[in-house]
Structure formats: C-alpha cells, structure tokens
C-alpha cells in the first residue's frame, strides 16, 4: 500500500505560527509537483468551516488545503473542539457533533478517539504523496502528555519527524525552544529533527551567535529564521490574531465596527471588507463604537452568554441607540439570532435559560435544537431595498453552521437558498427589516462574494453620502499562497526538510 512521506510542525506555544508554516509547506510541496494534504488530529477553534460533505472542521485546515490545491475533508481534522465555556467544549468527530463535555472529562474520552484519528490519517496517507501534520499548543505540556492525541503521540504512532517552531516576536524564544526539548522524553526528543525561528523583525545576522549556541546546546539544527509579515492576506484561525492587530488597520472611508464577542467565531467573514479599504475595528466597549457607518454582530459559539455580555457591558444599549438613529446593523449566524425578539431553548441545548429576550431589531424568533445544521450553500438575493439595494438576483456562495432555527414574521426575506451539496434547494434565509437598515443571515462567507460585497459597500456609501468606490479588490488566494511559499522558501532550508522526510 502507498505510504505518504510525513513531516510534523509542532510549536513551543500556541500561536507560534504552526498553522501558517503548515500552509506554507503545503504550498511549497505542491509547487514542487507533489500531491500533499494537511492533517491535524485535534483542533480547538471557534473559527470553523463546512466541507462539501457537510462536515465541520477547523478553519486552519481549510486554509492549508487551499494552499495544497485540494478540497478540504473531515479526515484532515477528525476531532474539533469548540469551547462553550472556560471549562467545557463541544466535541466534533469526523465533522459531526459527538457530545458536549467538560475539559476534565474530555481527557478521559481521548483514548477512544485514537482509532478514529488513526483511521483518518491512514486514509490520507494512502491518497497523497506527502502529509504535513500540525500539532497543537506545545508538546511539553507535562500535565497532558499521557492523554494528548495531537502532538508527540501522533508523531510516534506515525513515525513522523518533527520540526519545532518558536515565536521570537513575543520574546523568550531561545528559552522556549531549549525548555521544550528538555521536557520531552528521550524517544520524543529523538523525533525532533530541527527548529524554526518564526516572526523575526530585523537583521538576521544579529542572531548568529544565539543560533550557534542554540544548536550546540540542543544538538538540533536551526532550519531557518522566517520574517514577520503583514502583507500576505491569509485567513487567521486563532483569536490571538485580533489582539495583535493595530487599532486601525486601514484609513478607508467606511468605518465598520465588529463587536468582539467573548466567543466570537468565523471573524474571517470580515477580512474582505478590509481588502476593500474599509476601516474594520473589533470593539469590546460601548465608547469604541464611535460614529461607525456599520455595526456587525458576528458569529458566536455561545449566543446566550454573549448576548448577556452585550447587556452587561452596555454595548446592547449603545447598539440599540445607534440603530434607532439609523446606523445599519448586520448580524451573522449567532449575531442574527441576537437581533431577534427572543431565543427559545426548552431543551437547554445551549444554556439553562429556556427563554431569553433578544435585541428586538428583527421580528424573528429562534428555537435552539440539538441537531446542528452544517452545509455549504448557494443562494440568491431576494430583497432589493436598503442594505441590499441593487443586489437582487445576485447568486452567492457560503456555508451555514448553527444549532438554531429562526422563524420570521418579517415581510422581507433576505436570501433564498437554491442549492446545497445534496442538490437543488428552496428555502429562505435571513431577514431584512422594513427600513432596510437591519440585516440578519445564517450565511457565513457573505462578504467573500466579490460582486455582492462591492455593491453592498457602495450602497452603504450612498446611504452616508460618500463617494462610490470602483471596488477592484478581488482577492486572488492563489497569489497570496504563492507569496507565502516564496517567503518561507527563501528563509527555510527546504532541501534539508526533504532530506529529513526521506530519512
């Protein structure tokens, strides 16, 4: 049976750059003529995606699959954890919800997941030339080492060489690399074949003495120093990315305030707005709303808890005041549910509250149900007023991930779903209020539709008396992945990585 070569990227910490390094290697190997796939046995993320077969996986594996030039599948991320509280999470296995469980109980559950993880990996290994595996967090979490199913256990089970990535931008990278290796068992340390310094700013020659010391101290080679970059447009998975963003990432004419909910999910929905030159701000306090031209309530894993946060923080009061003054509001997925009159949860699917009042900006009611809806969709715009003026009839693509069903008393449905991977479909999605200023939808990826996004933003400009834009910011993902591959290829010893895989 065919057995793909494998390489694994682990990190000294979360957000060290593992995901982006895997994406870069996937692109490099593809450029070099190999059929390559990513794999992450267990991911913890609120940013997720729905595959063509209707399975939910981490957004990072979708980016990596795109870089590899292949369609994402659930085998690339067989276990996905979506935190619901600080101590609990929803467990998604092969794309479907398996259970909601506490962190303590989850680690009693992991041994039963090993067979599922192993089977998914073997299916990939039989279908591809190279598998690039991503770890999670750090392999040196000594309290989890005997129960983890994503770092050294996977490396040992698959016989995969490991490269350790350290983030120099946050400081302490040399101590982190040395400390990580020191805390590994001998057989684990033997699997580590090299180290990568990531997110470096400055003159790399200033590191030479430190790199020499690091290699002598650990007996492991440094395979490269990868520069910090901001000019490559690739979707980020970890919400730590939002902490690192400058306060204002653009100086465009449109000021868009995205509410940074505690359990915010799929915030890459709004990346294309920045590419159009909009000033996209993630706000956590009411005074930060300022004079935004548009307020967005994004997706969330915990609608009820985040709705309570809006009220406790005073943001709900400010959002309602701005809506009454005519500021347009958009809610996506959980944000859509919040905009309604109420949320009913008689089966206590999400919380202990059986009924919660919404913000009342849309005449809709949401019923939580145990079954999660996960599907890719093709839709057609139905409405032709307000925020959707000029878009009627346009066809859009996106995806749905939600555990609620929303029924509407509004006269204006926003979209009609016309196709899913199962075939033709015919059901309404989303609502636009009578004034056309408040829009809610379950469709993630709405603003990734170039023509719709450009018309939507120009309609918003007209509403505020601003000049229209030509809207030529169509994003070419292939070019962005090629830029990433070029950067990493220049700064990483790719021939040595091939040699490590061959050995």
Q: Which residues are catalytic?
A: 333, 444
Which two three-digit tokens encode residue 343?
């949320």
CA end-to-end span of the chain: 19
Cβ atoms 283, 289 nearer than 8 A? yes
Burial zone of 490 (CB within 10 Å; 0-12 exposed, 13-18 middle, 19+ buried): exposed
Cβ atoms 201, 230 nearer than 8 A? no
CA angle 96, 97, 103 (to 5 degrees): 135
d(CA 488, CA 31): 13
Reduced to 3 states, what is the DSSP secondary structure of residue 55? coil
Q: Residue 391: which residues within 8 A CB-CB, separation 6 or more?
A: 381, 383, 384, 452, 455, 456, 459
d(CA 59, CA 69): 15
Which two three-digit tokens encode residue 1?
């049976």
Computed on alpha carbons and rounded to an integer, the radius of gyration of the chain in Å comes to: 23
Sign of the C-alpha dihedral, residues 449, 455, 458, 464? Answer: negative
- Percent helix, strand, coil in the chain, to 5, is 35, 30, 35
DSSP E strands in 286-336: the ranges are 294-297, 299-300, 329-332
Q: List 428's β-bridge partners, or say none.
A: 416
User: Which conformational region is residue 58 in: left (phi greater than 0), alpha (psi within -120 to 50 degrees), or beta?
Assistant: beta
Query: Which of 125, 123, 126 has its CA nearest to residue 7?
Result: 125
Number of alpha carbons in the 13 Å side-chain half-sphere of residue 275: 24
Q: Residue 95: which residues within 8 A CB-CB, separation 6 or more?
A: 51, 53, 54, 55, 56, 57, 74, 374
State the alpha helices, DSSP H only, in 6-102: 18-31, 59-68
CA angle 455, 461, 464 (to 5 degrees): 145
Residue 378 dihedral angles phi and psi, to the nearest 5°: -115, 130
Q: Residue 280: enclosing H or E segment and its boundaries?
A: strand 279-283
Quick one: how far is CA 479 from the chain centroid? 20
């Amino acid at each position: 049976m065919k057995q793909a070569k494998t390489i694994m990227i682990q990190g000294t910490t979360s957000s060290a750059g593992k995901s982006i390094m895997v994406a870069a290697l996937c692109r490099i190997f593809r450029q070099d003529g190999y059929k390559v796939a990513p794999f992450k046995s267990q991911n913890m993320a609120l940013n997720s995606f729905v595959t063509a077969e209707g399975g939910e996986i981490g957004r990072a594996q979708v980016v990596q699959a795109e870089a590899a030039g292949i369609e994402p599948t659930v085998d690339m991320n067989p276990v996905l954890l979506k935190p619901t509280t600080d101590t609990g999470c929803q467990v998604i296995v092969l794309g479907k919800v398996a259970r909601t469980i506490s962190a303590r109980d989850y680690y009693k559950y992991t041994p039963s997941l090993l067979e599922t993880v192993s089977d998914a990996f073997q299916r990939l290994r039989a279908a591809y030339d190279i598998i690039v595996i991503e770890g999670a967090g750090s392999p040196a979490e000594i309290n989890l080492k005997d129960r983890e199913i994503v770092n050294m256990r996977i490396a040992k089970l698959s016989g995969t060489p490991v490269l350790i990535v350290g983030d120099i931008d946050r400081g302490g990278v040399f101590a982190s690399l040395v400390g990580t290796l020191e805390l590994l068992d001998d057989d684990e340390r033997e699997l580590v074949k090299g180290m990568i310094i990531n997110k470096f700013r400055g003159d790399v020659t200033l590191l030479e003495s430190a790199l020499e010391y690091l290699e002598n101290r650990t007996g492991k080679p440094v395979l490269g120093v990868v520069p910090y970059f901001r000019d490559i447009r690739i979707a980020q998975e970890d919400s730590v990315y939002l902490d690192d963003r400058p306060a204002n990432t653009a100086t465009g004419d449109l000021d868009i305030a995205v509410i940074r909910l505690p359990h915010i999910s799929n915030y890459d929905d709004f990346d294309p707005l920045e590419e159009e030159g909009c000033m996209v701000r993630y706000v956590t306090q009411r005074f930060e709303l300022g004079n935004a031209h548009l307020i967005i309530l994004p997706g969330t894993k915990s609608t009820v808890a985040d709705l309570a946060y809006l009220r406790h923080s005073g943001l709900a009061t400010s959002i309602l005041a701005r809506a009454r003054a005519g500021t347009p509001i958009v809610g996506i997925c959980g944000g859509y549910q919040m905009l309604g009159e109420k949320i009913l949860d008689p089966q206590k699917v999400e919380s202990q509250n059986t009924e919660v009042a919404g913000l009342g900006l849309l005449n809709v009611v949401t019923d939580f149900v145990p079954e999660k809806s996960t599907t890719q969709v093709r839709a057609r715009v139905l409405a032709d007023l307000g925020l959707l003026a000029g878009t009627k009839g346009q066809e859009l693509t996106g995806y749905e991930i939600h555990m609620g069903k929303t029924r509407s008393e509004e006269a204006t449905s926003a979209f009609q779903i016309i196709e899913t991977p199962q075939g033709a479909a015919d059901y309404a999605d989303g609502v636009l209020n009578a004034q056309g200023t408040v829009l809610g939808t379950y469709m993630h990826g709405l603003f990734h539709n170039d023509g719709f996004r450009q018309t939507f933003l120009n309609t918003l400009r007209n509403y505020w008396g601003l000049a229209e834009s030509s809207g030529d910011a169509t994003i070419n993902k292939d070019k962005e992945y090629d830029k990433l591959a070029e950067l990493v290829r220049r700064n990483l010893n790719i021939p040595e990585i091939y040699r490590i895989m061959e050995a």
